[in-house]
Amino acid sequence: MKRKMNDSTVGYLFILPMVIVMIIIAIPLIQSVWMSFSDYYLLSGSRTHAFIGLENFRSVIGQTHFWKMTRVTAYYTLYSVAGKMVLGLLVALLLNSKIKGKGFVRSLIVIPWAMPGIVVAMLFTLALDPAYGMLNYLLEKTHLITQGIPFLSDVDLALPVVVTIGIWKNFPFTALMLLASLQGISPELYEAGRIDGANTWQQFRFITWPMILPVWLIMLILQIVGTIKEFDLIYLVTRGGPDLATNVIGLDIYRNAFKFFKLGVASAEGMMLMVICFVFAIVYYRYELRNG
Amino acid sequence: MKRVKILNKALLYALVVIVALVLFLPLVMLLSYALRDNSEIITLDVRLFPKTFTTSAFLDVFSHELGGANFWVWFRNSCLTSGITALLATYIAALGGYGFTRYRFRGRRLFFFFIFFTQIMPWMVLLVPYYSLLVKTKMLNSLFSLGFSYLIINIPVSAWLFIGFFKNQPASLEEAARMDGCTILGAFHRIVLPLAIPSLSAIALFAFITGWGDFLFSSVIITSAKNLTLPLALQGFKGEHYILWSQIMAMASIMTIPIVALFLYLQKHMVNLMAGSIKE
């Protein structure tokens, strides 16, 4: 049988396995939306899961720690993203300059990225220990402090510390993408800049920055949506503590769902998080379409 | 003028060294903690390098037992759940990504938007209903349920990377193969995939580490010692009143070193892929 299939049929056949996967994703997603409006409590004997309207959202906002969680999430996202974007840019610029050994350092950038989150969490937990940790030891030896700092159990320090760990783990993504984009800038542009008498700063300001800005902005959005839902690193280092000081929304959902089994409330929180991610996603999508 | 130049150069190199240390030191620390005795970690005599090197922590990792299971069981569990699903996800995503870039069909934009959307979505949102489904169907604590979740979350990401990749790939070779009487699927398997092997491996590696380092899904789905994956088993060295740090670090090294090596090996392709996927 030599029937010629038309292009769109072939296309459909190629994407068919993925479409099935998408349906499998869509079902729990829809269910999650439904759960956020229902009385879904895993431990309750009743199996009715009655529709309760916005009750779950009301209880999310009514949680005594809701505003604290919002503040912590905002703080975490803001500083973490800022760190990833600034550090990523600086490192990319540094490794794009004409120096020996940059190839070697460039290859090191993947290390934080490749290390499993739990390994990073364990390592930093030990390194930051007030008694046995290497960091405190180093600070004491250099007489910067006289007593070990309990980085992870101090209410004021824990959040900045997990922000720093998160930056270390994820800035390589930004750095590598910016580096790739820096390498795409034609050297002739700098040549022309030098002829016109531009100094290093002016070359950056008027040649480099405009050329890498599109990629930087895309990375900014990707890092925002990636950071706002971060979970495992923070959870494994502090479990949200001390006194909920590092309790970002991802941890709160996890606790509500899998510790207290309040799946309805957890879904409601999940919906809030998803809407925020979605807003940034739309911005990104629009931006991509305009450029592509 | 010349002195300023030398000073600038020196500053630049100093910065490069600092960056290198920041990137590299944690890996050194990991190994150095793994290669010393536990009593040497829980002491006020802190050192970057161990006083006496010992591989006893590694031996402990291999002989450690928990609920009738040991390292090799957990290692197998991790390989099964992350490995098989990474291969499957890569293949399915390659088909989808290829179909999307080479063919025009109705609903193409919707398809693309869905791939895009699933990457933005927090996985937590899927995990909650998935968990309740597993509870209802008594499928909790199964490696199949865990692997299935990795498969599902990996496919959209991999497809996204494949779309970026195939867009920059000319279709001429497949077309030539088709002229020679190759079927469409034959050309895909014999021409397209073999040519894509470096990028294919990078995408498979991305998919692999999703499961390999996962804590979120596994901590929710797995509940018994014999089904633990490595990230969960790592916590088995932590008791109520003690933490066996060097054993943890030894096991963490075993989990980390091969992945870092693979990342270094495939770095160029990974970066090209990611870069290709963010600028269409």
CB contact under 8 A, B30 and A119: yes
Residue A97 lies in a domain: yes
Rounded to the nearest angstrom, the minimum Cα separation between B68 and chain A is: 24
Kindly identify which residue of chain B lies nearest to residue A136, measuring between CA atoms. Answer: B46
> What's CA A37's distance to the chain center, in Å?
28
Q: B159 and A42 in contact by Cβ < 8 A?
A: no
Residue B1, exposed/middle/buried by CB under 10 A (0-12, 13-18, 19+)? exposed
Q: Is residue B101 less than 8 Å (CB to CB) from chain A?
A: no
Percentages of chain B per state (helix, strand, coil), in multiples of 5: 75, 0, 20
Task: Please check whether residue A152 is in contact with residue A161, taking contact to mean a CB–CB distance below 8 angstroms.
Answer: yes
DSSP state of B43: S
- Give the pLDDT mean for B262-279: 84
Mean of the per-residue pLDDT values of chain B: 88
State the pLDDT at residue A43.
62
pLDDT at position B222 is 94
Q: Mention the CATH class of domain B62-278.
A: mainly alpha
**Residue among A111, B217, B222 nearest B236 (CA):** B222
Q: Do A110 and B263 touch (CB under 8 A)?
A: yes
* Nearest-CB residue to B129 (from A31, A114, A277): A31
Residue A261 lies in a domain: no
Q: What is the CATH number of the domain that holds A178?
A: 1.10.3720.10
Contact yes or no for B220 and A258 at CB 8 A: yes
Interface check B206 vs A, CB under 8 A: no
- Interatomic CA distance for residues A198 and B167, integer angstroms: 37
Please answer yes or no on whether A7 and B248 come within 8 Å at the CB atom.
Answer: no
Residues in chain A with CB shorter than 8 Å from the CB of B263 are: 110-111, 113-114
B104 pLDDT more than 60? yes
Parse chain B into domains and list their residue ranges.
Answer: 62-278
Domain tally, chain A: 1
> Between chain A and chain B, how many beta carbons pairs sit less than 8 Å apart?
266
Residue B132 is predicted with a pLDDT of 86
Q: What is the pLDDT of residue A73?
A: 95
- Residues from chain B that touch A173, judged by Cβ atoms under 8 A, are 274
Band the pLDDT of B41: cuts 50, 70, 90: confident
Q: Decide if A75 is inside a domain.
A: yes
Query: Which of A108, A132, A280 faces B20 most closely, judged by CB atoms?
Result: A108
For residues A234 and A166, is the Cβ–Cβ distance under 8 A?
A: yes
- Nearest by CB to residue A274, choosing from B122, B220, B280, is B122
Report pLDDT for A234: 95
Q: What is the pLDDT of residue A44?
A: 56
Contact A225 B231 (CB under 8 A): no
Chain A residues in contact with B24 (beta carbon < 8 A): 108, 111
Cα separations in angstroms, A227 against A74, A75, A160, A269, B48: 10, 11, 14, 16, 31
CB B141 within 8 A of CB A290: no
Q: Where are the beta strands (DSSP E) in chain A?
A: none
Domain hosting residue A178, numbered range: 66-246
Closest CA to A170 of A238, A86, A74, A266: A86
pLDDT tens over chain A, length 292 residues: 445 677 788 888 888 999 998 898 888 888 888 888 887 766 655 556 778 888 888 888 888 889 999 999 999 999 999 999 999 999 999 998 888 888 888 889 999 999 999 999 999 999 998 888 888 888 888 878 777 788 888 889 999 999 999 999 999 999 999 998 898 888 888 888 888 888 888 888 888 999 999 889 889 988 999 999 999 999 999 998 798 999 999 999 999 999 988 888 899 999 999 999 989 888 888 877 665 4
Q: Is the pLDDT of residue B212 over 90?
A: yes
Residue A115 included in any domain? yes
pLDDT of residue A282: 87
